[in-house]
Amino acid sequence: MDDVAPLFTRSDGDYVFARWGRPIVPVVFGVDDATLAVFKGAIEAVVALAGHKMDETDMELGANLMMFFCQDWNELLDVPHLDKLLPELGTLVPRLQAADANQYRIFRFDEAGAIQAAFVFMRMDDQMAQAPADTLALSQAVQVILLWSDTAFSEVPPLAMIEGKVALRPEIGDVIRAAYDPVMPVAARDASHALRLGARLL
């Protein structure tokens, strides 16, 4: 990959990068046990690729990566205490309905700018329902391991068919590994950061 800057350059032109600064503790709501195992397996695989860590509990939040499946966005309004974690929930749900969105991610950051928590929402419309669980799981795991640009995967998705199986595109895997290099910062807002990332891909 010649230039990684577009992966972290937002549609407004700002360069914004962040990675997790603490072990990831996932929890998945609204799926059966088999699907839960698929999602946790995908998260574990991507975290291992990054060289990062998972844990059983987060001291502040209990779980810091929360994934919610629903059939209708209104269902989120009925999730106990979710509005306490996400005060913007009341205005977010109408926006998601108006956009006919089928997925949305919210990140929280610590004082150093590292990812502290992430909330993933998936509405199982026809498009989502047709996707295999392992594809959905790997896609979401990749999209929360770093704070990617809002346009990072608008043209080329992070997954591809490799030898007949859906897998993470190797160049995206390389970026994830480089981003979690211990000498790299947990957060950056200067595009020179992309040059440092790129140098680790050679």
Q: What pLDDT, on a 0 to 100 scale, did the predictor assign at position 2?
A: 64
| 187 touches 8 (CB < 8 A) | no
Question: How many angstroms separate the CA atoms of 65 and 54, rounded?
Answer: 10
| E-state strands within the chain | 17-18, 26-29, 65-70, 103-109, 115-123, 159-162, 165-168, 187-188
Q: What is the pLDDT of residues 113-125, one digit of tens each?
A: 999 999 999 999 9
pLDDT category of residue 3 using cuts at 50, 70 and 90: confident
Smallest Cα–Cα separation from 44: which of 26, 66, 69, 22?
A: 26
pTM of the model: 0.93
Distance CA 103, CA 126 (A): 13
Query: Stretch 126-133: mean pLDDT, rounded?
Result: 87
pLDDT at 60: 85
Per-residue pLDDT tens for 23-78?
Answer: 999 999 998 999 999 999 999 999 999 999 999 998 888 899 999 999 999 999 99
User: Which whole number is the average pLDDT over 82-92?
Assistant: 93
